[in-house]
Structure 1
């Protein structure tokens, strides 16, 4: 009996494995090497990088802050106040790797590009149904761009395995169609990568250009980013940007990204993002709350201190605190030790 049961289990395992996406079997889970595995589109830096001043702080004179960050698997930690860099450290040879995968912080970039596309006249407003741009998904005709932005569209692409299948898909548009995405219109927060992927496709169709190219011309060059970045795509054949993740950028350029929002969209002499879009992104009214009780607005989380945070897998953070003109960036390989947002807020109380 035990032998038969063992054979049955083996057969089931073989059947399960053979049905999985081959990329999932090869790569298993998202990790920092994905930026070298996935095909990508290059995002060139501007002609000249925005000058960042160096400031000083006595905060770390009496504590070994570097060791604490290192012990908690931090790759980079940057503190800026009043546009001056107070603290900038890199660990685990991060400087040898000029770009870092930022995972779901990419969603906040997609949000930014949507605001720019509306300002440029490519998209009417956030109340438009997604089917205005992706008519083949006619069953989603009640879902608006704003619902997708706030993760309250009711879209459910499936469990963990299907999320992995989307992440490693070599044909994202086909994957979306194959899933027969379920939706239930609701005001409740329900996080799903499909939401941002649909926004990405909508922006591309509206502007007539790849969203990575749009990011390059409208943000990277105008903001004076210092390093070349990349945006991972599903494959060379289909060239669909992984809009829900996939940006690989230098941490110091993430600080510049935060500074754009800190200054209401105006940076390096350019109104990069409309001020109205920034204000609405950071408004709590009529916005859902995430699993930690923080407001989720236009792909940003709002803390009790009215700070704004872009969050990525494995502990990637861009933290903006307008009350003190502070931007903090943390990249790392783990975030399950404690709440990094609470830790960052504690740091700001001493600045």
Structure 2
């Protein structure tokens, strides 16, 4: 069967206008497909209106909660047995007030805090509520990483030391020769990549050209043309394109789209209360580095599932490695397998415009936030969020 090929994440959001759900693996599908996954095909849109980075505040507020109205994807049914979130002791009025202030100052739409699996804080703003979903952006990367762990446990991926080219044959003869699956997961391939969305000559900006020119073959065509800038394993560079390759590795190995595999490996075992929407690219496979949508409570349930170790889904000890600093940036910050690591053992998933799942294992605490920041990224605001969660964890 024909090799599956992917599409770079955020630019895919700007480029995808529709697709089928046909997907292809290296072999016949090996995992059991589920009927609880359906195709979503939105109305045809003007491509100019799909430029997410250029949506105004009002458009973001309305569309971030209804991305399925704008982009094609797969809809996954809720968990078979939704996890109940029992109410625990409310956070102190002082801490709760600080969270509300942060939400107002940063244009957050929802925050939920769990401790030891119990609900301690839940708040919504800007017309968002517990029944609605919100887009994830790069929080999806950590879901893809979890599915990588599942594929390892299930035996679809033999080892993280396998070469990427074992699962994506189209990269044979490229700068990805000799790069391992683990190096892809830690973004240490040593392959040069420019992810500056303000630079019209960047690699991420060039993705639109490759999509228009090569369609379903865009990602492998583009990625195989990249040059090496460092020895594999020696240099970290953030590359959403490589997370899409990681998703492609999983899809080719398992024989299912990420969303379909996630039904039995994340949605059901984590006990999601609502459905999940995950965008697709021109192949009909899912965008590994971006763009699934969940209820706020299900982002928190994902955090709780991870905190508990993903029992019977990923290898034992998987999240100690995945959520540990495989790459260190100094002062306690680093990067694991598609998870960001913070001081004192904290780690989390994060996406542009203020989306995050933050875990404090020592306190058995999970904090989920969804937002509509006025700018796509802000290191200062991100650090403020981590500091705030430190205060929450230290409180009674």
State the TM bucket, normalised to the shorter chain.
0.7 to 0.9
What corresponds to 2:395 in structure 1? 350
Q: CA contact under 8 A between 2:130 and 2:295: conserved in structure 1?
A: no
Question: Would the alpha carbon gap of residues 219 and 51 (structure 1) be closer, same or farther in structure 2, given more than 3 Å must change?
Answer: same
Match of 2:369 among 330, 336, 341: 330
Question: Would the alpha carbon gap of residues 341 and 216 (structure 1) be closer, same or farther in structure 2, given more than 3 Å must change?
Answer: same
Question: Would the alpha carbon gap of residues 58 and 25 (structure 1) be closer, same or farther in structure 2, given more than 3 Å must change?
Answer: closer
What corresponds to 2:294 in structure 1? 249
Question: What's the CA shift for 1:317?
Answer: 1.0
Counting only pairs closer than 5 Å after superposition, residues 198-213 of structure 1 correspond to structure 2 as 198-213=245-260
> Is the partner of 1:275 in helix, strand or coil?
coil
Question: What's the CA shift for 1:290?
Answer: 4.6
Counting only pairs closer than 5 Å after superposition, residues 25-44 of structure 1 correspond to structure 2 as 25-30=48-53, 32=60, 33=63, 35=67, 36-44=69-77
Match of 1:57 among 75, 85, 90: 90
What corresponds to 1:310 in structure 2? 349
Pair 1:152 & 2:188 matched: yes
Question: Would the alpha carbon gap of residues 166 and 172 (structure 1) be closer, same or farther in structure 2, given more than 3 Å must change?
Answer: farther
> Is the partner of 1:124 in helix, strand or coil?
coil
Match of 1:282 among 323, 340, 347: 323
Question: Would the alpha carbon gap of residues 92 and 127 (structure 1) be closer, same or farther in structure 2, given more than 3 Å must change?
Answer: same
What corresponds to 1:142 in structure 2? 178
Match of 2:148 among 92, 114, 119: 114
Q: State the TM-score, normalizing by the size of structure 1.
A: 0.84
Question: What's the CA shift for 1:277?
Answer: 1.2
Question: What's the CA shift for 1:97?
Answer: 6.4
Question: What's the CA shift for 1:255?
Answer: 0.8
> Is the partner of 1:314 in helix, strand or coil?
coil
Gaps of 5+ in 1: 1-19
Give the whole-Å Cα distance in 2 for the aligned partners of 1:121 and 1:152: 24
Give the whole-Å Cα distance in 1 for the aligned partners of 2:140 and 2:124: 21
Q: CA contact under 8 A between 2:130 and 2:297: conserved in structure 1?
A: no
Pair 1:98 & 2:132 matched: yes
> Is the partner of 2:344 in helix, strand or coil?
coil
Give the whole-Å Cα distance in 1 for the aligned partners of 2:269 and 2:15: 39
Question: Would the alpha carbon gap of residues 156 and 173 (structure 1) be closer, same or farther in structure 2, given more than 3 Å must change?
Answer: farther
Q: Give the greater-gyration-radius structure (CA).
A: 1
Question: Would the alpha carbon gap of residues 175 and 198 (structure 1) be closer, same or farther in structure 2, given more than 3 Å must change?
Answer: closer
Question: Would the alpha carbon gap of residues 165 and 226 (structure 1) be closer, same or farther in structure 2, given more than 3 Å must change?
Answer: farther
Q: How big is each residue's C-alpha offset from its partner over 1:41-93, in whole Å with a ceiling of 9 and x where there is no partner? A: 01111223111110123522586343441232011111111110000111111
Pair 1:261 & 2:261 matched: no
Q: State the TM-score, normalizing by the size of structure 2.
A: 0.75
Give the whole-Å Cα distance in 2 for the aligned partners of 1:99 and 1:207: 27
Give the whole-Å Cα distance in 1 for the aligned partners of 2:97 and 2:181: 46
Give the whole-Å Cα distance in 2 for the aligned partners of 1:109 and 1:242: 11
Question: What's the CA shift for 1:21?
Answer: 6.8
Question: What's the CA shift for 1:39?
Answer: 0.3
Question: What's the CA shift for 1:308?
Answer: 1.0
Give the whole-Å Cα distance in 1 for the aligned partners of 2:287 and 2:108: 25
Cα RMSD of the aligned pairs, angstroms, is 2.6
What corresponds to 2:240 in structure 1? 193
Pair 1:76 & 2:110 matched: yes
What corresponds to 1:224 in structure 2? 271
The more displaced of 174-183 and 209-218 is: 174-183
Give the whole-Å Cα distance in 2 for the aligned partners of 1:63 and 1:43: 33
Question: What's the CA shift for 1:173?
Answer: 3.4
Match of 1:240 among 285, 296, 318: 285
Q: CA contact under 8 A between 1:166 and 1:172: conserved in structure 2?
A: no
> Is the partner of 2:121 in helix, strand or coil?
strand
> Is the partner of 2:265 in helix, strand or coil?
helix
Query: How many residues get paired?
Result: 324
Question: What's the CA shift for 1:215?
Answer: 0.5
Q: How big is each residue's C-alpha offset from its partner over 1:166-221, in whole Å with a ceiling of 9 and x where there is no partner? A: 48957453244045223333412100011111111111111111111000122112
Pair 1:128 & 2:162 matched: yes
